[in-house]
Structure 1
């Protein structure tokens, strides 16, 4: 079943001074099936961050549509958009976006608190997630007391606790050392195997090689895609590297 359907997205920004127009997205169309794990790659300025912001309902396209489980998120009214994001999307950011004055547990609980859930229900939801992510022993600590890997696992727990339809990850391994990054990628793989749909924007070929499909964005359009199928992580890494070389050397559209 298609969970995310992106149709003919275009985004044009008008600069503040001079009124020049910059086209960030030209004509982006793709779909994501329920339970998929998709990575989006592209050089800086390719439009992938703009695309992620639109998928996250943080920005609106100039034209085009984005359907999440059949609902066109482009048409959601401004006063309803925060609740929509909270109830349907989970976010994992490069810089964790944790509140230093909140304990690890309270950071994870935050979206449920905003949704008006009772403590008993929040605690019930947290227990299996904390056990799976290996953070049960740090719940009473504060973000400044734990490692980068533990912070990112906290962010993943916060994303999962609302049972989102889709997890959006923005450079999730960008601030982690290699060991913590490997641990996070294994974790994403396990979460995906359990049925969670994940869409990740990344510059990291290693991170993308763990996904089941990679979309490449160039000049505001989908340039190419690779399905992992039966490839190993190493074979996927090589395929991605080859495609990035074509991107960087100005190869034509490969569809």
Structure 2
């Protein structure tokens, strides 16, 4: 079942005084099936961050539509967007976005608190997630008391606790060392195997090689995509590297 549809997406930004226009996205089209794990790659300035912001309902397209589970994001009223984002999307950011004055537990609870969920229901949701992510013993600690990898696991728990239709990850391994990165990517794969749909924007070939499909953005358009099929992570890594070389050298779309 298709959970996310992106149709004819275009985004044009005007400069401060309106003299010049920058076309960040030209004509982006793709869909994501429920339970897929999709990585989006591209050079800086390719439009992938703009695309992620539109998928996250943080920005609206100039033209085109993003439809998540039957809901057209561009048709949502301003008064509906925050609640829709909270109820349908989970976010994992490069810089964790944890509040230092809150314990990990309270950081994870935050979207449920905003939704008015009773404490017992929040606690009942958190227990199995914390166990799966290996952070049960850390919940009373503050972000400054734990490692980067542990912070990112807490951020993943916060994303999962709302039972989102879609998890959006923005360079989730960008601030982690190699060991913590490997652990997080293994965690993402495990989460995906439970049926969770994930869309991840990344510069990391290693991170992308754990996904089931990789989309490449160039000059505001989907340039190419690779499906994992029966490939191992190592085989997919090589295919991704070859495609990035093609992107960098201005090769033709395949």
Fold shared, TM-score > 0.5 on shorter chain: yes
Which residue is 1:220 aligned to? Answer: 220
Which residue is 1:25 aligned to? Answer: 25
Which residue is 2:168 aligned to? Answer: 168
Cα shift at 1:70: 1.0
Which residue is 1:114 aligned to? Answer: 114
Which residue is 1:135 aligned to? Answer: 135
Which residue is 2:72 aligned to? Answer: 72
- 1:112-158 residue CA offsets vs partner (Å, 9 max, x unmatched): 00000000000000000000000000100000000000000000000
Local SS of the residue matching 1:199 = strand
The Cα RMSD (Å) is 0.5
Which residue is 1:194 aligned to? Answer: 194
Which residue is 1:39 aligned to? Answer: 39
Please list, as runs of the form range in 1=range in 2, the aligned pairs for 1:11-22 lying within 5 A after superposition: 11-17=11-17, 19-22=19-22
Cα shift at 1:18: 5.3
How does the TM-score come out when normalised to structure 2? 0.99
Which residue is 1:245 aligned to? Answer: 245
Cα distance in structure 2, aligned partners of 1:65 and 1:74? 6
Cα distance in structure 2, aligned partners of 1:25 and 1:73? 17
Cα shift at 1:17: 3.5
| Structure 2, unaligned runs of 5 or more | none
Cα distance in structure 2, aligned partners of 1:23 and 1:253? 20
Count residues in correspondence: 254
